Copies of this chain bind each other. A is one copy, B any other.
């Protein structure tokens, strides 16, 4: 799918400069926001907050940013900016949302705090919600599903990384009517994720000695990302996640059993129809060479998602593959992509890194 630059969005123009602050900038997602925004043609990075590292240079935490002069500031001192990106742990944004709006016209939240549409969902999947009055105006950030709602949005909520991978893989099947979400079809999402998903805090399970070389089931049932997957797709998905030995990346393998038989041609049509115009989705399904299906390595460091599929004729199963960098397309890149659309900037601005080959466990 060729990169198609957006044309003529309303709002900001391509050469406008907007000021931005990253709240919670010392974590992995915050660091990626700093990296992307500092190379973005339309953003001027005005602040990067961190309670723990206030006063220190961002390069002391994020070694790739050693060349910049930026220092962490205290989150209590938020300057007025055009856009505030919040990369804080779950619960902070819903508590701080009024302060965020006081500081900025547009808020882009990378936590789970505004992803779900209703207070009831937060009661069911989380510990309730402190600011349910904002849920209506929040737009789920994935442009491949919410392109129409993003322009002009004041509150954008980036999706979860596992959810993003799963949704992008299954979305074309629902769009094309191959799955109908009526509950009669079994839909399994078996997801493999890297260690950066756990964030920058240390734990025994996340130590190098214990986590190297793992295939480790975690939250095999009841994972909170199920809530947003089902919200976005309109169907229940049987979701299980596994930790594997990579740092960045999320790969979803979805095994689905449509009610009616499908052909490979149906599948090609479904995926092409869904993503042909999307600048950050690549369809990779079979072929020759080493990388025949979507792999996290092929998109590491980039805002691309790769999707692909295979048809198992014997048992009428469709196997769908989806791969993203959990910190970029799954978090910070998705947030900037959505912000570009919300603010009327060039859609792909700041997100032009193509990735590396070869790359280890990026």
Partner of A312 from B215, B221, B312, B321 at Cβ < 8 Å: B221
A39 partner residues in chain B, CB cutoff 8 A: 352, 354
B353 touches A212 (CB 8 A): no
A162 partner residues in chain B, CB cutoff 8 A: none
Q: How far is the CA of A177 from the CA of B288 in the complex (A)?
A: 43
- Say whether A7 faces chain B, with CB atoms less than 8 Å apart: no
CB within 8 Å of B: which A243-268 residues: 244-249, 251, 253, 255, 257
A222 touches B312 (CB 8 A): yes
- Say whether A302 faces chain B, with CB atoms less than 8 Å apart: yes
CB within 8 Å of B: which A177-236 residues: 186, 188, 190, 192, 194-196, 198, 200-217, 220-222, 236
- Say whether A355 faces chain B, with CB atoms less than 8 Å apart: yes
- Say whether A71 faces chain B, with CB atoms less than 8 Å apart: no
Given contacts A188-B188, A207-B195, A282-B67, are A295 and B215 in contact (CB under 8 A)? yes
Give A57-83 as 1s and 0s: 1 = Cβ < 8 Å from B's Cβ atoms: 000111111110000000000000000
Interface size on A, residues (CB 8 A): 98
Q: How far is the CA of A201 from the CA of B208 in the complex (A)?
A: 11
Given contacts A246-B245, A301-B301, are A323 and B215 in contact (CB under 8 A)? yes
A28 touches B358 (CB 8 A): yes
Most buried by B among A67, A192, A212: A212
CB within 8 Å of B: which A297-348 residues: 297-299, 301-302, 304, 310-315, 317, 319, 321, 323
Q: How far is the CA of A323 from the CA of B216 in the complex (A)?
A: 10
A212 touches B215 (CB 8 A): no
A238 touches B204 (CB 8 A): no
In the assembled complex, the CB of A238 is this many whole angstroms from the nearest CB of chain B, namely 5
A202 touches B207 (CB 8 A): yes
CB within 8 Å of B: which A22-44 residues: 28, 31-32, 35, 38-39
Q: How far is the CA of A42 from the CA of B111 in the complex (A)?
A: 40
- Say whether A272 faces chain B, with CB atoms less than 8 Å apart: no
List A residues at the B interface (Cβ < 8 Å): 2-3, 28, 31-32, 35, 38-39, 60-67, 186, 188, 190, 192, 194-196, 198, 200-217, 220-222, 236, 238, 240, 242, 244-249, 251, 253, 255, 257, 282, 284, 287-299, 301-302, 304, 310-315, 317, 319, 321, 323, 352-362
